[in-house]
Amino acid sequence: MKLSRISVAIFGAALLCVSGAFAGSTNKGSLNLTEKVNVDGKTLDAGNYKVEWNGDGPNVQVTVLRGKQTVATFPAQVTEGTTQNPDNAYGAVQGPDGSRSLTAIYIGGKHTVLQVAQNASSTQQSSNQDSK
C-alpha cells in the first residue's frame, strides 16, 4: 500500500515537471543593433532590444521590444546552426536605396538563428556582432 502511494507521488511529480517544460514555448534573446535597419515595414534605430519568439515548429512569430514597448512583430523561421553563436548578432542586407533590412538574428550562447522572411531579393549581405 505504501509502495503504491509513493509510486503515484513520484509519477505525478515527474508528470508535473514534464508538463512545465512544454508549457513555456516563448523563447527570449537580446539584440544590439549598431545601425538603423528595417523589418516588416518598420524602422528600428540603433540600440538594445529584447527579442521574443513563440510558435510550434520552424515557423515562429518574433516580437522585438525596446524596454516594455513592442516596436516590431514579424514572422521568421527558426534554424539551428552547426556551432553555438558566441554572441548576439544580426544579419542585414542593403537595398538599392541604401537602407538596410534585417535578415537574421543570431542568439548568443545557443545554436538558434531566426531567419527573417524577406519580400525582396538581397544583393549584399553582412553580419554584425555585438561587442560586449
pLDDT at 15: 43
How far is the CA of 55 from the CAs of 71, 101, 117, 124, in angstroms? 19, 23, 15, 30
How far is the CA of 28 from the CAs of 44, 108, 126, in angstroms? 18, 11, 23
> pLDDT per residue over 53-101, tens digit each?
999 889 999 999 999 999 999 999 999 989 999 999 999 999 999 999 9
Q: Between 36 and 122, where is the model more confident?
A: 36
Q: Which parts of 1-132 fold into alpha helices (H)?
A: 2-23
> pLDDT per residue over 20-30, tens digit each?
444 446 799 99
pLDDT at 38: 96
d(CA 122, CA 132): 29
pLDDT at 5: 57
How far is the CA of 15 from the CAs of 3, 18, 26, in angstroms? 18, 5, 21
pLDDT at 1: 53
Q: Quick one: which H or E segment has residue 84?
A: none
- Which class for 83: exposed (0-12), middle (13-18), buried (19 or more C-beta within 10 A)? exposed
pTM strictly above 0.75? no
Asked if pLDDT for residue 131 goes beyond 70, the answer is no
